[in-house]
Each structure stands twice: as C-alpha cells, then as structure tokens.
Amino acid sequence: MARILVTGSADGLGRMAAALLVTAGHRVVVHGRSAERAHKALEQIPGAEAAVTGDLASIEATCQLAHEVNRLGAFDAVIHNAGVGYRERRRGDTRDGLPEVLAVNTLAPYILTALIQRPQRLIFVSSGLHRSADADLEDFTWTQRPWNGLAAYAETKLHEVLLAFALARRWPDVFSNSVEPGWVATKMGGPNAPDDLDAAPRTQAWLASSNDPAAHISGKNFYHMRQQPALAAASDTALQDRLLAECGRISGVALP
C-alpha cells in the first residue's frame, strides 16, 4: 500500500486518479486550491486519507502547501496533476506578476518538488501539445510577446516534461516521469474531446503505485500505459538545467 498526494483532485483527472488509487487500497491525500474545493475533493473521494489546501497560483501559498504536506509525513508518490487550461484567456497576472498558466503548471510543481520530502516516485501530468511548444525558454514569463493562450499552455506542458526528465537525472533514487493523458472530455478538455476518458487517469495512477517492472523506470514520457517519445528538446540537459534555474530564480526556492 502506497501513500500518494494528488494535486488538483477536486475534479477532472485528478479526482479520477485519486479515486482509482483509493479503490486499489492506497492511502491518498487530495488537494484543492481553496478550503471549499479541498473539502469537495474529500467528500467526492470516499476513503481518501486527508485533504490539503493551497492556491498554486501563489508562490507563498504553494510553499505553505509544501510545508502542510510535510507535516503529514512521508509520501511514496506525488502526482502533479493540477493545471490551468489553454482555453482560458490570460487573466490579470498573479500577485507575483506571473501568468497564471505559468504559475500553476510550471512553477508550482517545481516548488512542491523542491520543498516536499522526497518521495520514491514523481509523476508530472503533461499533454501531447508539448510537442508544439517553443523550446528556447526565451521570454519565459511572457513579458515581451503578445499573449497566446494555446502557446503558453503548450510551453508549460513542455516544462513539465523537462521537470520530469531533469529530476530523473538529478535524483537517480526517484522514479520521475511525465504522462500525456490525452485530449479528453473534462472541464479543461471540453465536451467534444475525442480521447478515452476512462483511460486518461490510469497511467498516472499506475506509475504512482504499481509493482509492475514497466512502471519502475525513470526519465520517460507515457501515454495510455506505454512509453511515448517526447519532444526531442525535452532530453536536452542544458535546457532542463536552464528551466530549473529560471524556476529557482523566480520562486526563490532552490532545488535540493
């Protein structure tokens, strides 16, 4: 039995993955960006061990969430599921002066990974759209370019693959991988999404908990329980290190 944290588990794929893990007998801690959403997650996933709260659009709140998680003790796995979608227009910048999609999808997984007691497994939920991203990390915070929500989202999904691969390289004692759940009919994906919704949460749950040797691997990208080649740039170690440096600089949080 594993102990697993699933971020963004009040609805969508996070809730589905958490429910699968609870049904399989694992100890699951759920997360919501507000106390109301955390309570909703706990109600909708009977058997979940506890709920934690933290607005991942805020650097300070994300750091506080990491400390709250650490107070609960050690975890075997963390599924970085929480995300902001490409359908949303750019909102007013966060209190830290960042686009929300960057704060939630890129910076928060970095901060949580840096501050939470190191688990045995890390899973970063990415997207097939990462292959369309600009991989040069120029204008990382979108201060110079005209805003493009789809491009910004794709970049953050590439960042998640880069984070997974960077952690696999830096922490050889941790299984760190990224997952493409597919374009599915969640609130983020929209009602007409064509992919298999039932299959969408299963790979991340499997990577977080399975004793299958195929899940005991690191530095890979997965789609529906199989390895899927990522954008070639994701394997560029210099690019990985540059992303880590940018995240550390902006957040003020150093990666151990």
Residues with a known catalytic role: 153, 157
Are the CB atoms for 188 and 16 separated by under 8 Å?
no
Q: Following CA atoms 150, 255, 170, 163 in sequence, which dihedral angle do they give, to the nearest 10 degrees?
A: -10
For tokens 């997650």, the residue is 41
Question: What burial letters (b/e) apply to 90-127, b meaning 16+ CB within 10 Å?
Answer: eeebbebebbbbbbbbbbbbbbbbbbbeebebbbbbbb
Q: How far apart are CA 18 and CA 161, in angstroms?
A: 21
Strands 50-53 and 175-180: unpaired
Q: How far is CA 20 from CA 110, 154, 199, 203, in A?
A: 25, 27, 11, 11
Are the CB atoms for 250 and 159 separated by under 8 Å?
no
